[in-house]
Amino acid sequence: MDKFDIHGIGMTSQRTRERLIERLYEEGLSNARVLEAIRRTPRHLFIDEALSHRAYEDTALPIGHNQTISQPYIVARMTEWLLKGGPLDKVLEIGTGCGYQTAILAQVAERVFSVERIQALQDRAKERLAELNLRNIVFRYGDGWEGWNALAPYNGILVTAAAREVPQALLDQLADGGRMLIPVGEGEQQELRLIIRDGDQFQHHVLEAVRFVPLLPGALA
Ligand code: SAH
């Protein structure tokens, strides 16, 4: 039985979707579970209809409220790095946005906890992910700088907005042996970091240059 109930997409789009997977593969993404999750996820349902013809391009697109849906390449890359640490029981995502990264995580992790500061975006994401029958996600409206302490620790934390510095709360909420993927920096100067916790030690690895919207302070009233 297919996990998704929604089809409603013609053959042409199916080919476009396959091309995206091929392109990601050529770019060095090789984790079969991640590629399969991307193949199965109808990205056109996460953006405005006016832009849906561009849904399977490997590019970020606007989703309103000055925010974007992440580029498939970076969604795949971050998920792949997270999975390299072993099976993912609990994952914390900061920045639900339209919920596309959340959908990919929900297919490779047992449980996903996702925090967003713009209520309208999160409400819409919730609806979409329920329509897609992804039920292992819990949402929280709040400030990602604070993480979600009540449910910590997490063996994976994935931040989808660029932070000036790594939030201390997120480091504290990472399980021993857990991994965090986080863009750090401002404006055009951002690097994707992988942080691995080993007891009280945190190893930082710089992976690649990235471009995310900023991780803003505080939740919106
Ligand atoms: N994960 C999305 C991309 C999200 S864009 C995708 O798959 O496409 C970044 C998101 O982070 C935006 O929705 C923005 O509102 C949110 N964000 C920014 N600062 C935040 C904060 N302090 N706490 C929670 N969410 C935040």
Ligand 1 center–CA 125 separation, angstroms: 12
For residue range 43-59, what is the model confidence (pLDDT) as tens digits?
A: 999 999 899 889 999 99
DSSP secondary structure letters along 142-182: S-GGG--GGG--EEEEEE-SBBSS--HHHHHTEEEEEEEEE
What pTM was estimated for this model as a whole?
Answer: 0.94
Residue 2: per-residue pLDDT: 46
Asked which of 45-54, 90-99, 132-141, 198-207 is least confident by mean pLDDT, the reply is 45-54
Average pLDDT in the chain: 93
Amino acid found at 177: G
160 lines ligand 1 (CB under 6 A): yes
94 lines ligand 1 (CB under 6 A): yes
Does the CA dihedral 111-117-123-124 come out positive or negative? negative
* pLDDT of 184 over the 80 cut: yes
Residue 13: per-residue pLDDT: 75
> Are 113 and 92 a contacting pair, CB within 8 Å?
yes
d(C-alpha 16, C-alpha 152), whole Å: 39
Q: Is 166 exposed, middle or buried (0-12, 13-18, 19+ CB in 10 A)?
A: middle
* pLDDT of 152 over the 90 cut: yes
Active site residues: 70
CATH 3.40.50.150 fits 60-209, yes or no: yes
Q: What percent of the chain has pLDDT over 70?
A: 93
Which residues, at least 6 apart from 145, have a Cβ–Cβ distance to it below 8 Å?
Answer: 163, 167, 169, 215, 217, 218
d(C-alpha 168, C-alpha 155), whole Å: 16
**What does R_g of the chain's alpha carbons equal in angstroms?**
16
Ligand 1 center–CA 101 separation, angstroms: 11
CA-closest candidate to residue 72, choices 92, 44, 108, 49: 44
